[in-house]
Chains A and B, each alone.
Chain A
Amino acid sequence: MAQLFRPGANSIAVVVLVAILVVPAGALTLTYFLWKSPYATDQYLTPAQPVPFSHAHHAGDLGLDCRMCHTGVEKAAFAGIPATHICMTCHSRIWTNAGMLAPVRHSLASDTPLHWRRVNRLPDYVFFDHSIHVAKGIGCSECHGPVQKMALMRQERPLTMGWCLQCHRHVERRIRPRDQVFNMDWRAPPDQDAMGRALIAKYFIHTAHLTDCSTCHR
């Protein structure tokens, strides 16, 4: 009777034993990083829009304030996408025949709204509120990134819960004076942490509640 196990069987056994440990661990690690990667979170994704609206031009070059178009940002959960009329406030006078603005003119003429693609998307079970962040000194650029440099709008941050919590756990690292909220070129000063703690006290921010589930989910 021939040998049941050939000499190579030893090697196979070792490989199998190692694989039993390594493969699941590797799969889990891979999944974990894949899950957090831009591939899964859509970070840096730049969707095509019906009108190639450039924040770089409007907010950067021209220096328009965010609130000129995003009218709800200080009042409501939803910052608001401008109505066609707001675009036409200027574009009924300048660039009136620009080809890329044809959909906007058509929208006004036919009374049909523009259909923009959403860029920064949170799940429906997250109740994010722009107004309270703006009121408490969290600048636009914290979440939206350097919008004034984006020709087309892209999702700058991963928008995962872990990413949200980074800030909710350490507000002092992100908070800025209220009058700097709409300053897109804001850089954190060297004494950010000390200033942040002072601002937390000044703005009555109750940091303990910020990590409660009920702050964002209901």
Chain B
Amino acid sequence: MSSLTGSALDRRSALKLLAAGMAATMARCSRPSEEIVPYVDMPEGLVAGEPMRFATTLTLGGHGRGFVAVAVDGRPVKIEGNARHPFSLGATDIFAEAQVLSLYDPERSGAVAGRGTTWHAFAQAWTRATRDPSGLALFTGRVTSPTTLVQIDALMKRFPGLRRYRSEPIHDDAARAGSRLAFGRVVEALPRWADADAILVLDGDPLGNGPDQLRIARAYSTRRGGKRQRIHVAEPAWTLTGAAADFRIALAPGEVREVARKIANDLGAGLGEPQLSDAARKFATRASAELRAAHGRALVLTGEGQGAELHALCHWMNARLAAPVDAFPSQDPVAGDHVGEMTAFANDLHAGRIRTLLIADANPAYDAPDALHIPAGIAKVPFSAHIGLYVDETAQACTWHLPLSHALESWGDARAPDGTASIVQPLIRPLHQTRTCDEYLAWFATGKPASAHALTRAAWQASDRNWRQMLSDGAVANTAAKPITVSVARVPDLPRAGSGRGLVLRIAPDPSLGDGRHANNAWLQECAKPFTRQVWGNAVQIAPEDAQRLQIADEGTVDVTLDGRTFAAPAVIVPGQAEGVIAVTLGHGRLAAGRIGTAVGARVCGLSFARTLSGAAVAKSADSLPFRSLQAHTRLEGRAEDLFQISGAHEHEPNEPGLDEPPPSILPTPQRGEYAWAMLIDTDACIGCNACVVACQAENNVPVVGPEEVSQGRDMHWLRVDNYALSHNGALRHGFEPVPCMHCELAPCEPVCPVAASVHDHEGLNVQVYNRCIGTRFCEANCPYKVRRFNWFDYSGDQAYAEQGPALEQQHNPDVSARGRGVMEKCNYCLQRVSRARKTAEKESREVADGEMVTACQAACPTRAIHFGNLNDAQSDVSRRRRAPRHYTLLAELNTRPRTTYLKRVFNDGEDT
């Protein structure tokens, strides 16, 4: 970790530099000569400097989601959603957005490593190793790609004794086992969220990160107007779904099962008397009544923190309620469960049954529990080869490492959870000497090199015409599986909560890092977790009651002990978490992720595969680990209710009163130009997923500042998602509020700037002129919304955490300046996009149409919570929404007249529906 402040300069060097600097001013340096290097043969259709868009596919846990990658002059610079793909619907998530940074990561592996550094050396070693093919094994994560499955089949034909293992760190074993228990087969149950009027989520997080998030989030937002859903959530720790709920109760995982028992009994399950507290009984009674009242339009969901029995019981309840759930055959062709496969893999390693091992795009040495001793097991294997993007923990345990191409450099394909296939299309030739997984596997199977393009085309057998259609659509037509009919044979039994001692430890995928495979991505590391706003690390979330009992201070370091294993992490007290439950997230504590991701936070995947563990003990630690959070930078003065406003459900219907005249001001009223751009953010639709934050970062060349700087209270995000915890109708609520620049019409930042670097343009944008800025920071001090960001260091230049060298400059959006040290910056409503939209319209001699100008955050948003448009047009989307009664302005009493305004959050928690 290099220091940003650098080493102290001694007096002699300082004088030398001073003298050199003065001498330099004497001579006029001529401007460096610049070259223009045109193509030899310009590709057809290319216009230099103009963005080109290609539909491609990115995977999350093996499941494919179609996106559109934007390339400028052959460099991918941005990921956008693909409206034609049913699991993107035009939106993105943080993992997809961050992929453009990973592509250029200078620490990605680019060469063969291990017992040799050449392909030739590896090929010889492989040939020797496979002379006796017994003991050959292949380990992968979840594979849904038809092309990869063809290669694996070919490999198994070539080596009939091949053992194959498949294990994904964020697994769905409980769901798989639950559907086996309920239906006798593994089924992918996908809810039709928009069709449900009453939804009960029992310790699950359908709105949280995952391959299905974008689809469900869109459905969620379509039901925020009109006849509203009622969402009931019982959960031990806050999830995005819990924050979105109308009724939420914090219950330990065992108590959640009692709620399920009560509701199932009401549906005629006869599972014995539930043991419920008064509050839980009230919650369960209401949820039960509403579910039954909404027969045919009621939905019950659960998550991986619960066992197979509750999953099966949810299937049974859904069957009784005729719930809008579609059952699809699982896209994962491997029959075994993830935990079982990993355990079998470990046993076979230690028993010496594996003598030649291939690990393709997986990292079991980090992901697996310590008790399985995977690294030691791999070390016993005479020939082991790891195919991966990084020389990670597994690569270090193996004898060979083979570099893998990034998805944006690869041909391939993948399937979404419902079976929709889409093609992975490269945007750029591999930056390093890498190959795709399919190319490696085909080479292993045939001994002959094959191109991924040829393999993918061979797997699809499509005509040229169809192939072009598949590529341009980004989703292959008619590949979604038909929903299958399944029936629940019997009421599954539900185990009672054990009277285990100690605390229940809940392990969840990290909201920013997931399983940690992208831990070397600085954007994700600095993406604040929704509830704690923590960055660069994970924390033990603990309920206030437990913290008080155990005398644990907020942000103090604790040791968590479970079955003799201990890890240390900062604790954070989270009101609204179930008493007796502590929660911590995966994905941190990487041992070999790279300069960015190594040793950030605590590794908890070493404890167990299970998501819910009992018998944990928490004690104050002798260590002191930093808790780095972005929100503590700006404390509220007890004004949460002003800043995040809540409306009753009945206020939702729009009537159209005129906006109140704003109070007079001593500042000159700005004149309105041709356009009056404005943004409107619907806090009722926002689920707090952070996609907008990372999209903004990618679009606007926003650098990260690194953990040291965050600890100093610094941050560069142009758009932040504030999290408000407030009490409503006696219940604790969480609300998310994305805060970009307000673009105040009477902007307080402008009169205080001594060099007029903060000025208004005629379209109402408050713009920052970087070349004028001298860094007084008066504007930042005078900004009531705290959206201005100062470059204390050359964050976008050569600093360790910013962008690590020339490779990453290639990710920069060429339409946006990279800001230097000493300059203030902030959201400019994606000025480059405004400019592009305006020019496009003007060239066609027309006005910019409503909806034509889309900001990066707006494009990314899976719930369409962000609206942008022209206030001069009274019929524009933004103008109409601003007339809604839910409309409000942040700090309206300051009379800054912001162009960014909000719609109030609605909790549909009245007693009448």
Contacts and interface: CB of A to CB of B under 8 A. Distances in A.
A9 to B, nearest CB: 33
21 contacts: A42-B31, A76-B49, A77-B50, A81-B36, A83-B41, A85-B40, A108-B40, A113-B38, A115-B37, A117-B36, A121-B31, A136-B842, A204-B842, A209-B761, A212-B762, A213-B759, A214-B761, A214-B765, A214-B828, A217-B771, A218-B832
A125 B816 CA distance: 8
B807 interface: no
B763 A132 contact: no
Interface in B817-845: 817, 828, 831-832, 835, 839, 842-843, 845
B33 interface: yes
A213 B40 contact: no
A82 B816 CA distance: 25
Contact of B835 (A40, A71, A86, A127): A127
B201 interface: no
A114 B49 contact: no
A67 interface: no
Please provide the 6 A-B residue pairs with the shortest distance between their CB atoms, ordered closest to farther: A212-B761, A83-B42, A83-B39, A118-B34, A78-B49, A81-B38
B50 A75 contact: yes
A209 B765 CA distance: 11
Interface residues of B, number: 40
Given A72-B49, A113-B39, A209-B673, A125 B817 contact: yes
Given A206-B674, A218-B817, A218-B831, A118 B36 contact: yes
Given A77-B49, A204-B845, A214 B767 contact: yes
Contact of B40 (A39, A113, A135, A208): A113
B845 A127 contact: no
B278 to A, nearest CB: 59
A131 B815 CA distance: 15
A191 interface: no
A107 B762 contact: no
Interface of B: prevailing SS: loop
Q: Is the interface of A mostly helix, strand, loop or mixed?
A: loop
Interface string B32-73: 011111111110000111100000000000000000000000
Interface residues on chain A, size class: 35 or more
A218 B48 contact: no
A114 B31 contact: no
A163 interface: no
A131 B816 CA distance: 18
Interface string A80-92: 1111111000000
Interface string A21-39: 0000000000000000001
Given A212-B761, A214-B761, A117 B35 contact: yes
A127 B649 CA distance: 47
A208 B673 contact: yes
Interface in A121-145: 121, 124-125, 127, 129, 131-132, 135-136
Contacts of B815: 127, 218
B443 interface: no
B770 interface: yes
A52 interface: no
B769 interface: yes
A203 B41 contact: no
A44 interface: no
Contacts of A76: 47-50
Nearest to A112: B40
A179 interface: no
Contact of A213 (B34, B35, B769): B769
A217 B819 CA distance: 12
